[in-house]
Amino acid sequence: MEIQEADLYQKAIEFAARAHRGQYRKYTNEPYILHPINVAEILRDMDMPIETIVAGVLHDVVEDTDCTIQEIEDSFGKVVAEIVNGVTNVAEDKSVPRKERFWQNVQHLTKSNEQAQNVKCADIISNMKKFGEVNPDFAAQYTAEKMIVIDHLYEADPLLILRAKQAVEANMEGIRSEHMHLRFLLEKG
C-alpha cells in the first residue's frame, strides 16, 4: 500500500471507529470495529483497489450508525460512497416481514457494482468466522440467507465468491439438518 493509500485506510479506520464507538458484536461481545477491519483485510489480501478496501472498513456505518452516504462521500469520495451504498441494506422497516426485507436487500445487491459485491463477499466471510457461538435456529436461517445472497452476486470476484461459499458451507456442517429446511422457506416462490 502506498503512503497516500495507507493514510486513506487509516482515516477510514478512525472514521468507522468513531461511528461504531460503544457498539459490540451480538454473539461475541467484541468491539464492533474489529469486524469491518477484518472485512477490509480480506479485501486487501485479495489485492482489491484502495476504494474497495476503504469501503470494507466503512460498509456498516450507514446501516448501523447515524452516518449518511453523503458524509461518506464528503470524507472519502464518490467511488467509496457508491460502494458503501451498494452494500448497505435498503429494507430496514421491521414492520415489513423479514422474508420481504431480505428479498428487497438481495435485489439492491444484484444492482450494485462489482466492488460492492466484493465487499459483501468479504463481509460474509468475516461474519462466518465466529458463527459457532450463535443460536442454532438463527445460525440456520442466517446461513441459508447468506447462501442465497452469494448466489445473486453476479459481478463479484469469482475467488471471493468461492471463499464466501466455503465459509458458509463450513458453518453449515455445524448446524443440525432439521434447521437447514429454512433455505427452502426463503426461496422466492
- The catalytic site residues sit at 63-64
Q: How far apart are CA 5 and CA 12, in angstroms?
A: 11
What is the phi/psi pair of residue 32, to 5°?
Answer: -60, -35
The residue assigned the cell 430496514 is 92
SS3 162: helix
Please report the DSSP string for 115-161 in residue order. Answer: HHHHHHHHHHHHHHTTGGGS-HHHHHHHHHHHHHHHHT--SS-HHHH
Please report the DSSP string for 21-38 in residue order. Answer: TT-B-TTT--BTTHHHHH
